[in-house]
Amino acid sequence: MTPAITHKLPDHAVPVPLDKAYRLINHGPTVLVSAAHGGVTDVMAAAWACVLDFTPPKVTVVIDKATFTRGLLEASGQFALQLPTRAMARLTTGVGTDSARDVPDKLARHGVSLFSPPACQVPLVQGCVGWLVCQLIPEPHNQQAYDLFIGEVTAAWADERVFRQGRWCFDDAPDDLRTLHHVAGGYYLVSGEGVQA
Amino acid sequence: MTPAITHKLPDHAVPVPLDKAYRLINHGPTVLVSAAHGGVTDVMAAAWACVLDFTPPKVTVVIDKATFTRGLLEASGQFALQLPTRAMARLTTGVGTDSARDVPDKLARHGVSLFSPPACQVPLVQGCVGWLVCQLIPEPHNQQAYDLFIGEVTAAWADERVFRQGRWCFDDAPDDLRTLHHVAGGYYLVSGEGVQA
């Protein structure tokens, strides 16, 4: 069910200091959520992820009870949010549509390649431009009533071609590296031009 | 403290059906939060707003205890999220930086014009391209521990030049109408090109 996992960081992936980690999702991208338990990994898409705090950095993400990923997250207490690119729009829609309950080879089918940095227990998705590893902060009422999960970010990486000195800078990089912002039905807006106010 | 409020809808503002209201912020824009109580209105900027549910539509927004807007929201039980445009980047940074505690003429100083549709008790900001009026769902633990507020959307409007048939479509409209996605320090990415996967 789970593709082979390398321990090598992707080319261009560099650590992001924890006090800047919130900036990876401050601009509201759609994310891939990964979680693993008992040797099984799943990855799903989520448009409803958000920063919750600066330091320690915390995030929220809404994960439906029907998803397979949710069970892995609840069992392991860990998850990752990561930012797919324009080049990964089809992959993102694919893992957001199929469930591993019905499609056991879901990850392979949609071309998901995984890596796991040393000491990181959640496999991460190759090709993304940002990765946030999170420890679940259990809040049973939020999880049951709203499908809302809170995590504290414990490690983060970003692709140095588009995230440098704590900021996204897409304008001088290939368009394929821009992040995705889901509108509906597999239609996305990519992250656009930078504006200083 | 509060500028004059017209009851006339802005040109191009049309109602959005509640089952499509979540789509106004599904792509992760930075929002303006408005709230009013006792004849006083405030508006602040928030990058940490997110969809929580489809139907009835619910949203989350993180509002710091130091903000003046938070007191109005807690007193009235209502608030609005609205989407400023590229043309409003300076206004957005301005109302996100100054507090009405220290700058009583904050709204006038930053050029905020308000309107209030009939039966809507929260003044809304002119020039935005989407407006969501929300009823607070009280969750004292989330509000105290995380500054996290949950609202149910009770009415929504959007600018028909860029939101039609339940979807954003910026590519054939003036660039000044694109939404803002805050990175840091008054630097935003605007909503970019549409991609169908």
Would you give the DSSP letter of residue B122? S
**A34-48: average pLDDT:** 97
Q: How far is CA A62 from the centre of its chain?
A: 12
A16, A23, A27, best to mutate vs chain B, most B CBs in 10 Å: A27
What CA–CA distances, in Å, run from B168 to A99, A190, B31, B124?
Answer: 27, 12, 16, 20
Asked whether the beta carbons of residue B146 and residue A52 sit closer than 8 angstroms, the reply is yes
Chain B nearest-CA residue for A180 = B27
Instruction: Confirm or reject contact between B83 and chain A (CB < 8 A).
Output: no
Residue span of the structural domain in which B51 resides: 5-190
CB contact under 8 A, B60 and A47: no
What's residue B168's pLDDT?
A: 97
pLDDT of residue B5: 87
Please check whether residue B195 lies inside any domain of the structure. no
Q: Give residue B129's identity as a one-letter amino acid code.
A: V
CATH number of the domain enclosing B103: 2.30.110.10
Per-block average pLDDT, block size 10, for chain B (197 residues)? 82 97 98 97 98 97 98 98 98 96 95 93 97 98 98 98 96 96 97 95
Give B77's DSSP letter: S
Number of domains comprising chain A: 1
Per the domain annotation, does A144 fall within a domain? Answer: yes
pLDDT of residue A1: 55
Q: What is the pLDDT of residue B180?
A: 98
Q: What was the pLDDT predicted at A117? A: 92
B197 in a domain, yes or no?
Answer: no
Q: Is residue A105 part of a domain?
A: yes
pLDDT score recorded for residue B1: 55
**Is B74 among the domain residues?**
yes
**How far does the CA of residue B39 sit from the closest CA of chain A (Å)?**
30
Q: Contacts of residue A196 in chain B, CB cutoff 8 Å?
A: 186-188
Residue B4's pLDDT is what? 80
Least confident range from A5-9, A58-62, A144-148, B21-25: namely A5-9
Residue type, B145: A
Task: Write out chain A residues lying below 8 Å of B196, CB-based.
Answer: 186-188
Give which of A21, A53, A49 is closest to B65, Cα–Cα. Answer: A53
- A195 located within any domain: no
> According to the model, what pLDDT value does residue B157 have?
98
Is A92–B197 a contact, with Cβ atoms under 8 angstroms apart?
Answer: yes
* Other beta carbons less than 10 A from residue B34's beta carbon: 29
Q: What is the mean pLDDT of residues A40-69?
A: 97
Nearest CA among B21, B36, B143, B39 for reference residue B83: B21
Q: Is residue B196 part of a domain?
A: no
The contacts of residue B166 (CB under 8 Å, 6+ apart) are A184, B16, B17, B20, B23
Q: In the structure encoding, which two tokens stand for residue B30, read together? A: 């930075």
Residue range A140-170, pLDDT digits in tens? 999 999 999 999 999 999 999 999 999 999 9
Contact of A66 with chain B, judged by CB distance below 8 Å, is answered with no
Q: What is the Cα–Cα distance from B179 to B191, expressed in whole angstroms?
A: 5
What does pLDDT average to over chain A? 96
pLDDT for position A112 = 97
**Interface with chain B: mutation pick from A175, A176, A195, highest number of B CBs within 10 Å:** A195
pLDDT given for residue A70 in this prediction = 98
Can you give the pTM of this predicted structure?
0.97
- What was the pLDDT predicted at B126? 98
Q: What is the pLDDT of residues A67-104, one digit of tens each?
A: 999 999 999 999 999 999 999 999 999 999 999 999 99
Q: Does A141 touch chain B (CB under 8 A)?
A: yes
Contact at CB, B146 and A53, closer than 8 angstroms: yes
Whether B191 and B27 have beta carbons less than 8 Å apart is answered as yes
Query: Residue B162: inside a domain, yes or no?
Result: yes
